[in-house]
Amino acid sequence: MSRLRASIVKEIWAVLRDRKARIVLVLPPLVQLMVFSFATTLEVKKVDIAVYDRSGGAHAVELVQRLHGSSYFRHIRPVQSPAEVRAAIDRREVLAALVIEQDFDRRLNAGQSASVGLILDGRRSNAAQIAAGYVRQVTGGMGVPSTMANAGGGVAITHWFNPALEYTWFTLPSLIAIITAVAGLAITSQSVSRQREDGTFDQLLVSPLRTHEILIAKMTPAFLMGLFNGTLFWVIAQVVFGVPFFGSIILFYLALVAFLLAMIGFGLFISAVSMTQQQSFMGTFLVMTPMLLLSGYASPIENMPEWLQYVTLLNPQRYFLIILHGVFLKAMPVSEILMQVWPLVVIAIAMLSAAAWMFRSRME
């Protein structure tokens, strides 16, 4: 026990006293919090739009004013010719151009339905589709009250778990997965290779420490750091960003522990394979990028080709993201959470065993 305790204490100090390691611990989570929580939004706000008004009538003017009045648009730029429309779009000065046809006012005055053309920049098709929705809302709202509405028909839309569709309610819980994963991988993947370079690894191997004691000691700092980051962001999400937490704290920590062990397993494996810090850096990069992109955070998993969806089953992030959204917003029941936790446990056991095996076989 004293051996294990001494190595754990040593590993923690090694992380805390090393200026470089401290920077790796403190800076990325802060930057990630800043950048991810604000930048990675698929929301579309403040669209710049061009309006080519060929009608010039009162209805057309009203339509433009309604666009102004809507909060979705930032600059509304009047243009005078099709050529200008093309130029504005080509140069990416606007995301969309609204073309009000010549007969627009005449038809509306005659009680007929009129049409407008909307040209969107397909180079940003995601934003463009959302912008098209905004324009439709404005034009739809301006139409003569429909019989349908009179008859009480239509669509009632409810967004559960996040009624106002706050984007931060999605990002902040996800950040717990991302940040604990990045820190966990970064700390553990460097730990062995740095010692190999320092020569301190040999020193460890000639001491009576057993392999499992060395490994457990190596896991500890990343694990504690992960718990700390997880707790910190759990608090920040609620206190600073007002994200509700409906689920059970115990389940949250249970899942966090399983997830951390799985990520640390990956980190230790990279560490055991690499001989130099350079290699472990590359290894971390090659593991981290696909993990983030194929987690369901950057884009939904069901949009991927089916064979790739099977690949994501190996990704711990995938399960933890579902759990996080579940415990924060959905008050996910125990049974459902356990359904997501067991794959994490399996991955953790598999990766940690692989790391221990690799570690032993690369002792030489």
Contacts with 111 (C-beta within 8 Å, 6 or more apart), sequence order: 144
* Beta carbon of residue 68, minimum distance to other proteins (angstroms, whole number): 17
- The phi-psi region of residue 111 (left if phi > 0; otherwise alpha if psi is between -120 and 50; otherwise beta) is left
Q: Of the two residues 211 and 349, which places its CB atom closer to other proteins in the complex?
A: 211
Q: Does 250 bind other proteins (CB under 8 A)?
A: no
Q: Out of 58, 65, 74, 212, point to the residue binding other proteins (CB under 8 A).
A: 74
Residue 311 or 349 with smaller CB distance to other proteins:
311
Check the CA dihedral 347-350-353-358 and report its sign. negative
In the bound state with other proteins, the residue whose beta carbon lies nearer, of 228 and 281, is 281
Q: Is 172 in the site for other proteins (CB under 8 A)?
A: no
Task: Tell me the three state secondary structure of residue 57.
Answer: coil
What is residue 208's DSSP assignment? S
Among 65, 80, 81, 278, binds other proteins (CB under 8 A): 278
- 3-class DSSP state for residue 153? coil
**Minimum separation from the CB atom of position 262 to other proteins (A):** 19
- Per CB under 8 A, 338 contacts other proteins: no
Write down the least CB distance from residue 148 to other proteins, Å. 4
- Looking at the Cβ atoms of 10 and 77, the one nearer to other proteins is 10
Q: Computed from CA positions of residues 93, 97, 100, 102, in that sequence, does the dihedral angle turn out positive or negative?
A: positive
290 binds other proteins (CB under 8 A): yes
Pair 93, 140: CB distance under 8 Å: no
Question: Would you say 144 or 239 has its CB closer to other proteins?
Answer: 144
Q: Give least dist CB 31 to other proteins, A.
A: 7
- The CA distance from 206 to 337, in Å, is 44
Q: Is 5 in the site for other proteins (CB under 8 A)?
A: yes
Sites for other proteins among residues 77-136 (CB under 8 A): 87, 89-92, 107-108, 111-130, 132-133, 135-136
Nearer to other proteins, 65 or 203 (CB): 203
Candidate ranges 226-234, 256-264, 321-329, 347-355; the one touching other proteins (CB under 8 A): 321-329
What binding mask, one character per residue, do residues 295-314 give for other proteins by CB under 8 A, x or -?
Answer: ---xxx-xxxx--x------
* Cα–Cα distance, 185 to 165 (Å, whole number): 32
- CA angle, 138 as apex, 132 and 142 as ends, to 5°? 140
336 is an interface residue for other proteins by CB under 8 A: yes
Question: Smaller CB distance to other proteins: residue 53 or 121?
Answer: 121
Of the pair 286, 349, the CB lying nearest other proteins is at 286
- 282 counts as binding other proteins under rule CB under 8 A: yes
b/e map 129-159, b = 16+ CB within 10 Å? ebbeebbeebbeeeeeeeeeeeeeeeeeeee
Distance CA 363, CA 133 (A): 60
Total residues contacting other proteins by CB under 8 A comes to 133
Within positions 22 to 41, which residues make up the interface with other proteins, using CB under 8 A?
24, 27-28, 31, 34-36, 38-41
The Cα–Cα gap between 263 and 285 comes to 14
Question: What residue type is 102 in one-letter code?
Answer: Q
CB 33 to other proteins: min, Å: 12
CA angle (31 as vertex; 25, 35 as ends), nearest 5: 150
Length of the chain: 364
Chain positions 175 to 234 lying near other proteins, rule: CB under 8 A, are: 198-200, 202-210
Residue 221: CB atoms within 10 A of its CB come to 24
